[in-house]
């Protein structure tokens, strides 16, 4: 059964990393730089807070895409003596930074919009400028969304960037409608209300991503993993008396690691112990989709036999 273990470790490393095309991301970044500059200038001239909200969101898109590109390149670097895991966590870190940035920007814009609403600052907003720039943003963001849609399905990092772009396309539609209402009816209060609405939407879309990335960075047990079920199954392997001191965590979006002490029922030869451990690895691979297992075999060792170590 030894070949199963080698197959798990050698063949499963690379195919999960999405192959991001440099040109695709560069085009998406360039489009968002253009939108951001145009909207910031337009927001200053039109006095529109909702357009500035959209511009800052677009700025975070540029950051998101740039970080995603760098993180994906880093994640492909080979491990070294100083970085034994390489830079595999770079993508998770990028997802956390991107989503956290959105949360921060959103809270700031809610405060700004609330100040306008509650101090009755009925600022006259240039509705037509808002409409034109929101329209440009919808087209450019729509193109960017189509460019990275495929990559977003297989990476938490690229999903963060995709969410930035997709939510900005939706918010630009709201800003376009707001621009029309301000231009046609002079309802300038719509600008602040839209800004708050967009910001709340961004908080909702970012929160789950921040939590997900935090759970991976904190090495929590991955979602969908039932530790009791796993250890119960592994304890039934012939030659195994007890499984304890279990640790299970995610290194990346897809790479789950398992670590445990294995109490052997008998005083076995090393070659026999290897057969038991190989069977455990095969079970983890086929039944629970865990492809990296570090197992410490023991026989009559006086230690804490708890499933989770408390020391």
Burial of 214 (0-12, 13-18, 19+ CB in 10 A): middle
Q: Which domain holds residue 269?
A: 227-298
Q: Are residues 208 and 89 in the same domain?
A: yes
| CA–CA gap between residue 248 and residue 311 (Å, rounded) | 16
State the residue for tokens 């910031």.
40
pLDDT digits (tens, 9 = 90+) for 110-142: 888 888 888 766 667 788 888 999 999 899 888
| Residues 65 and 162 both lie in one domain | yes
* 161, 259: one domain: no
Same domain flag for 36 and 176: yes
Give pLDDT tens digits for 49-60: 888 888 877 887
Q: Which CATH number characterizes residue 261's domain?
A: 3.30.70.1350
Is residue 251, in this structure, part of any structural domain at all?
yes
Residue 297 has which token pair? Answer: 């075999």
Is residue 164 domain-shared with residue 70, that is, in the same domain? Answer: yes
Residue 2 has pLDDT above 60, yes or no: no
pLDDT value at position 174? 85
104 and 205 belong to one structural domain: yes
Last residue of a domain, one of 153, 184, 217: 217
Q: Comparing 134-148, 156-170, 293-307, which segment has the lowest mean pLDDT?
A: 156-170
Q: What is the mean pLDDT of the chain?
A: 82
Of the residues 182, 217, 252, the one at which a domain ends: 217
55 and 104 housed in the same domain = yes
Is 168 in the same domain as 43?
yes
Residue 11 lies in a domain: no
Same domain, 81 and 163: yes
Reported as a single tens digit per residue, the pLDDT across 172-201 is 888 899 889 888 888 888 888 888 888 888
Please check whether residues 38 and 185 belong to one and the same domain: yes
Q: Which CATH number belongs to the domain containing residue 149 in this structure?
A: 1.20.1510.10
**For residues 143 and 136, what is the distance between their CA atoms, to the nearest angstrom?**
11
Report the C-alpha gap between 2 and 282 in whole angstroms.
Answer: 9
- Structural domain includes residue 182: yes
- Report how many domains make up the chain: 2
Alpha helices in 47-122 (DSSP H): 49-75, 90-118
Sheet containing 292-298: order of strands = 240-250, 256-264, 292-298
Residue with tokens 């197992």: 295
- pLDDT higher at 168 or 239: 239
């Amino acid at each position: 059964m030894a070949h199963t273990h080698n197959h798990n470790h050698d063949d499963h490393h690379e195919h999960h990393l999405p192959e991001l095309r440099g040109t695709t991301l560069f085009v998406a970044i360039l489009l968002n730089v253009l939108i951001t500059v145009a909207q910031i200038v337009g927001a200053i001239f039109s006095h529109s807070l909702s357009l500035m909200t959209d511009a800052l969101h677009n700025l975070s898109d540029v950051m998101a895409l740039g970080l995603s590109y760098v993180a994906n390149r880093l994640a492909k670097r080979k491990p070294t003596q100083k970085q034994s895991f390489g830079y595999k966590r770079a993508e998770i870190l990028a997802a956390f930074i991107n989503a956290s940035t959105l949360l921060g920007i959103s809270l700031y814009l809610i405060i700004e919009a609330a100040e306008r609403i509650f101090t009755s600052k009925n600022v006259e907003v240039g509705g037509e400028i808002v409409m034109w720039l929101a329209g440009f943003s919808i087209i450019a963001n729509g193109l960017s969304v189509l460019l990275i849609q495929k990559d977003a399905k297989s990476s938490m990092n690229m999903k963060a960037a995709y969410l930035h772009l997709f939510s900005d396309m939706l918010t630009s539609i709201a800003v376009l409608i707001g621009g029309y209402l301000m231009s046609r009816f002079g309802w300038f209060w719509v600008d602040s209300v839209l800004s708050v609405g967009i910001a709340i939407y961004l908080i909702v879309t970012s929160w789950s991503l921040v939590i997900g990335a935090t759970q991976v960075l904190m090495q929590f047990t991955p979602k969908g993993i039932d530790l009791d079920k796993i250890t119960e199954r592994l304890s039934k392997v012939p030659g195994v008396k007890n499984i304890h001191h279990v640790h299970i965590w995610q290194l990346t979006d897809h790479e789950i690691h398992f670590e445990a002490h294995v109490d052997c029922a008998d005083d076995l030869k090393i070659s026999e112990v290897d057969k038991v451990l190989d069977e455990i690895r095969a079970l983890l691979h086929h039944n629970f989709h865990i492809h990296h297992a570090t197992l410490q075999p023991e026989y009559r060792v006086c230690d804490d036999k708890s499933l989770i170590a408390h020391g």
